[in-house]
Each structure stands twice: as C-alpha cells, then as structure tokens.
Chain A
Amino acid sequence: MSQTVFAPWSDPGAKPLIEFRNVTKRFGDFTAIDGLSLGIYEKEFFALLGPSGCGKTTMMRMLAGFETPTEGSILLSGQDLGRVPPNRRAVNMMFQSYALFPHLSVWENIAFGLKREKQDKDAIDARVTEMLRLTRLEKFKSRKPHQISGGQRQRVALARSLAKAPKLLLLDEPLGALDRKLREETQFELMDIQEKTGTTFVIVTHDQEEAMTVASRVAVMDEGRLVQVATPPEIYEQPATTYVADFIGDVSLIAGRAKPAGERVEIAWAEGQPPIVATSETSLSTDQSVHFAIRPEKVHISKERDETRPNLLQGKVEDIAYLGNISTYHVRLSDGTLLKAQSTNHRRLANRGITWEDEVYLSFTETAGVVLTE
C-alpha cells in the first residue's frame, strides 16, 4: 500500500475545519488583521509565523474567543463562531506563560477543564491518567507547578489543554521559555502527540526553524496580512516575495532587470558582467525590475575558475562564519553586491584552502535560485 500524502489543502473537495472569511480586526485606529481569508484543515499542524506585531497572536486570540473580529467571520466546522464565548468553544489553548494554576497540583490542573464538564469521577480519573501517561508526567501528578521544571510545566500545560479533547488546539509560542536543546526535543514530542491524538494544532511562533520543523503548512504574516501560505519546503524553496525569502532562513538578494528568453530569464545585475541565467515560473516582461534570491547552501565556492560551471561569478572573501559543521563565506562581488556561499566542512579546518581576502569563484545552477517580483 502506498502511503498517501497528507495534503487536504490541495484537494478542492475537502472542507476546512476552520475558515477565516475576510476577517478584519481593529484596535482603535490600529488594524491588527486586514481582510484575511484562510482555511485550516482537520489534523493539520498549522504554523502562524511572523515578527512580533504582525497579528499572529490576534488571530489566535480570535480563535480562542478572547477577541471578536471587527468585520468578517470565523467558522469552525462550518459554524460561525461569532460571539460564542471562550468557555463554549471546542477550542483549547496552551498559553505562552503556560498559565498553570499555582494553587492546584499537576493532577488538578489537568482535571480542571474536565470537572467543568460535570463528568463523573471515574471518567475524569481515567482521562487525567491517560494525559499524564501521554506527557510522561505520572511521577509528578501531586506536585504543584512551582515544584517542577520548565520542561515539565510545558508538558502540564499541553496535557491540560488536550484533556478536553478539543477539535482545535492553539499553541502560543509553546516552546519560547525552553532552552535550545530542550526546545528541539520538545518539537518532536509535540509532533508525536499531535499525530497520536489526531487533533488539529495551530501554533503561533516567531521562530522560523520551529515553524519549519513542526508544521504541515506555514503561514507567513506581515502587518496583518498573509504573505504566503505553503508547506515548509515550498516556503523555503519557492518564497513568494523577498519578505518571505528574507524572513525564512538565510538568503542573498541581487537586484536586476529581467530579460525573458523562452523558459529562462536573464537578469542583468551589473555593468560589464554576464547576466545571471535562471528559470522563472511567473512570466516576466522585458526590463522588469526583479530580485534574484539564492540560498547560501546552493552557491558553490571554489578558488579555481571552472568554465564548465553555470553562472560563474568572481569575488573576494570578506568574512567567514565558522559554525562547526558548515562555514558561510561572505563574498563581495565586483560591483559591491554581497553574496553568501555555504559549504560543509567535510575536511578539517587546516586542510581547506579558502581564507579571508582570497579571490574566489562562485557558481550556481539555473534552477538554484528564485526570481522575485515583489
């Protein structure tokens, strides 16, 4: 049996679990969300990514019911959430500060939502035990929140918000308070739990690596608008705008003028230099002003001039960022443009030839970069 790819967003018959329809949210004069439409599908792990103040938290708070849209509507399973108060939504939230109740034990924290539903004692007991097992917290069930570590608190918050088996779980910067190592571990744990429970997750984060790791789709936001909604590989390889390209990962941008030639496009970027040859999916007009975006790891760097390589550019090494496994070279081209090239350090440092002020040759294939018009 071949494994089917999980991609309900490309199936025109699929109904989204959550639908934003022309949602606008204003706080006084400030427009936090600007006429935004979006569909999120069942079992998705959806990431809202953007810098602080881009409106991602407002979107989450509207889903939770703490804010109501000024215009437009939000639908959950086809029903307008409108002014449904937070306590009547099949939506639960994991807060950035975790917001654990300090006067209650871990067990009581997890049971809190279930007790509000007036379930009988045995059912609550069984569900809390299940949640404790899922988050590996059995040993800590009678501790108070201040008696456990940050990572454990994060898991209690997750268990508490999952206990009521919500249709949708919102996670507000869930890993922000953890140190790097723990954060990476927890990312995989989150994905695992999301898969096990089959709950739809919407995560808000400003950390692009986190979004790329956990999410099935990422929405990049800027000033209350969606700039691009796509899978992590698409976002990385096919950014829609220079904003996305710049926000996700490392990128070099070269400004120039387009000259379409069949499937290819030639980009004139500097006087007296051969044009960059690239491919473009969008049709461009002659002399249109474009940006050529290329990721550092797709640029080959060498001290020898190899005429067989495409898009050969000459420059001088200005800076080297040594990261252990890889090195990033900042190369200044003849016209002053900075291009970054990355290479893996598969040999010991002393054996590699490139150093500061060296004349080097950069090259990349025609499909390595993207031509951006915005």
Chain B
Amino acid sequence: MRRFSWFNATSLTLGFAFLYLPMIILVIYSFNASRLVTVWGGFSTRWYGELLQDEAFLDAAWVTLRVAVFSSTIATVLGTLAAIVMVRMGRFRGRTLFSGMIYAPLVMPEVITGLSLLLLFIGIGLDRGIFTVVLAHTTFSMCYVSVVVSSRLATFDTALEEAALDLGCTQAQAFRLVTLPIIAPAVISGWLLAFTLSLDDLVIASFTTGPSATTLPIKIFSSIRLGVSPQINALSTILIALVTVGVIAASLATKRRADAAERDARAAIRT
C-alpha cells in the first residue's frame, strides 16, 4: 500500500482538472435556462427539447451515422486485406516502400488529404455528396485499421492456418474458419476506431462534401460561427454521454472476457 502524499494528490487533481474541466463546464451550461451561454439563468432542459425539434441537426446526425457505418465497414475490409498482404507475403522487392505507403496517411496533415481528394473528385467529375465523404473517410481510416490488424497478425501462429489446410481446408476456408474468428477482436477494434474517426472528422469532410450532405461536425462548426448557442452545448453533452457509455461498455466487456479466461485457466490447473 502506497502512502498518501500531497504531491501525488495535487498532481492528480490538476491533471484531471486539465483534462475534464472544459467538458464539465460544457455539460453544466447545457442545462442553462438562459439564452446567453456564459450567464447562468437557472436549471432547464429546454435546449435538449429544442434540439430534438431541429430538423437540420437531426439530418446532419443521420448523415454522419451513415457515413461512419459505410466508411468504417469498407475501411475494415480493405485495411484487413492490406494487413494480411503486408504480414504474410514475406519479403518481396519494395515491401518496405509498400508498407510505408500504407501507413503514410497516418501522419499526413488532414488538410492535404482533404485537398487532394477534393482535386481528385473535381478532376473525375464526381458530384460531391455523401458518397464522396464515404470514399474520403474510407481512404484515411483504412490505414488505422491496417495498423491494428497487422499488429495482431504479427503474433498469429501460422501453424494454425497450416493445421486447417492439413485438415482439408482450402485457403479461403482456412481464412474464414480459423484466421478470421481468431483475429476478430482486432478487426472489430479496427472498425470501432474507423467509426469514431469518421464521426468526429471535420476537416476532410468539409473538403469533400457538397450541399446535399452536411455532417454533424460541419453543422456544429458552422453554427458556432454564428455564435455559440445553448443547443450546441446540449448536442455536445449527448455526444459525450454516448462516447462515455460506449467506452465503459467496451472496457467492461473486455474485462469480463479476461476474467473468464483467467477463471478457466485456473480451473484447468485444478483438474
């Protein structure tokens, strides 16, 4: 047991205050009855009610959700394939170059990615809208998926796949019946990562979208420019709540699985 020290307590408080104070203020002001954002006018939930009446916000939320689901799903398929090629193909000429090129978008400034995609879409005469945003999000989130999946594949025992082949599987069956179920957790976390990246992307979406498809971050950002409305605070609070619930649920599920595995291992030793 470590002893209590004022130094530790202070650094902990300061650290967490630094991280969470802005969000706490935002949550408090979302329940502000006053129209003025910085003046407290008593407790109220009217901004939540108004938010649900606002068609424009609901539309934007729906667009964002669709973009996130489609782009993260496509990115997961492509990213997983890229990871398999990079980990499994062994050494070939230009392997380092190829793997570098897969990971380069990770460090590429978003503005450049957005701009180059915009130029491409104009160049090939593609009408900008929800489709182009999905394409753009797939492009940049694919490399994140690929990183997550290839780190799992690197520790994957290839003897498992060989065993599947040995027992009569074709290559495709071996992948579907053995490899995929085993790397599934990494594929799912890759999907979740791509999904959240797509949810909160502002820069790339604003480059590649058209008037028909306004995502939630674009909507929020544009309404901020007309002055911060308490409605935005309410919306942000809802988002924070969703993310918190999601993170807690995910970590609880992981912990439960780890506990179960440990319990099973102990049971195995006893017998």
Seen from chain A, the residues whose Cβ lies within 8 Å of a Cβ on chain B are: 64-66, 85-87, 91-93, 95-97, 99, 101-103, 112-113, 116-117, 143-144, 146-149, 160-161, 164
Contact = CB atoms under 8 A, between A and B. Distances in A.
Contacts of A87: 165-170
A93 B163 contact: yes
Contacts of B264: 144, 146-147
A99 B169 CA distance: 15
Interface string B135-170: 000000000000000000000010110111111111
A165 to B, nearest CB: 12
A86 B165 contact: yes
B249 interface: no
Given A147-B264, A147-B268, 19 more contacts: A64-B162, A86-B162, A86-B166, A87-B166, A93-B163, A95-B159, A96-B159, A99-B159, A101-B160, A101-B178, A102-B182, A146-B265, A146-B268, A147-B267, A148-B268, A149-B271, A160-B163, A161-B166, A164-B168
B168 A116 contact: yes
Contact of A116 (B162, B169, B268): B169
Contact of A146 (B159, B181, B261): B261
Q: Pick the 5 closest A-B CB pairs, nearest first.
A: A113-B167, A116-B168, A99-B163, A99-B159, A147-B264
Contacts of A160: 163, 167
Contacts of B163: 93, 95, 99, 101, 160
A97 B167 contact: no
Nearest to A89: B166
Nearest to B160: A99
Interface in B223-271: 261, 264-265, 267-269, 271
Interface residues of B, number: 24
A93 B164 CA distance: 10
B45 interface: no
B168 A113 contact: yes
B269 to A, nearest CB: 7
Contact of A103 (B170, B181, B268, B269): B181
A85 B165 contact: yes
10 contacts: A64-B166, A87-B168, A92-B166, A95-B159, A97-B157, A102-B182, A113-B168, A143-B268, A146-B264, A147-B265
A116 B269 contact: no
A97 B169 contact: no
A117 B167 CA distance: 9
A96 B157 CA distance: 12
A21 B252 CA distance: 59
A99 B174 CA distance: 13
B37 to A, nearest CB: 52
B173 interface: yes
Contacts of A99: 157, 159-160, 162-163
Contacts of B169: 87, 116
